[in-house]
Amino acid sequence: MSKMRIGHGYDVHCLGEGEGIHLCGVWIPCSYCLIAHSDGDVALHALCDALLGALALGDIGKHFPDTDPRYKGADSGKLLAHCYQLIRVAGYQLANADITIAAQTPRLADYILLMRESIAKLIAVDVNQISVKATTTEKLGFVGRSEGIAVDAVVLLEHNDVN
Ligand SMILES: Nc1ccn([C@@H]2O[C@H](COP(=O)(O)O)[C@@H](O)[C@H]2O)c(=O)n1
Ligand SMILES: C[C@@]1(CO)OP(=O)(O)OP(=O)(O)OC[C@H]1O
């Protein structure tokens, strides 16, 4: 296997009426919820898929089936930590991650640093290795109609013995 690996993840969850949403492990109070089997943290799910994809380890649904009652209401931070542990066991570590959250609402600007810090803490990396960005879709499509939130995540992994 080569010394550097790139991975991409993408996830979407529907928005419903609620009192808040989890994004990147941060609770964001608002008049929505994210509909899911787990806690609905669509951003952490995309990041899990990017990590798994980088080493061709399948996807989040393979590792944590949404038919398994153990994952009902699951803390996605724990799922992320598990995925990153698989990466570490394979001899790799994160170089950097870049996450783009497409959400018409709620406004996320005030939470960006908290989200970066949250991910960095969950997988014990430096906050400067983690980028989180937000964009609306200018009211176009399902994101623009506030029917759901979509997230893209890209990661670069480097092997521990890279020289
Ligand atoms: N849910 C969101 C979406 C976007 N932002 C911030 O607004 C700025 C403009 O976004 P565009 O839709 O024009 O890409 C940008 O700085 C985003 O970070 C936000 O805070 N919350
Ligand atoms: C996270 C899991 C856990 O049961 O369920 P959901 O919260 O529905 O999220 P999804 O993005 O569909 O990924 C599948 C499952 O791994």
The matching CATH number, chosen from 3.30.1330.50, 3.40.50.720, 3.30.2350.10, 3.40.50.300, for 4-159 is 3.30.1330.50
Give the per-residue pLDDT at 163: 58
Judge whether 147 and 15 are in contact, CB under 8 Å. Answer: yes
CA–CA separation, 46 and 146 (whole Å): 19
Residue 42's pLDDT is what? 98
Residue 142 annotated as part of some ligand binding site = yes
pTM of the predicted structure, to 2 decimals? 0.97
- The low-confidence residues of the chain, meaning pLDDT below 50, are none
The pLDDT value recorded for residue 155 is 99
Q: What pLDDT, on the 0 to 100 scale, is given for residue 161? A: 85
Ligand 1: distance of its center to the CA of 135 in Å? 4
* Ligand 2, CB within 6 Å, residue ranges: 11, 36-38, 40, 45, 60-61, 64, 66, 71, 74
Q: Does ipTM come in above 0.90?
A: yes
CB distance 41 to 24 below 8 Å: yes
- 38 annotated among ligand-binding-site residues: yes
pLDDT of the residue at 2: 62
Atom of ligand 2 nearest to the CA of 60: 16
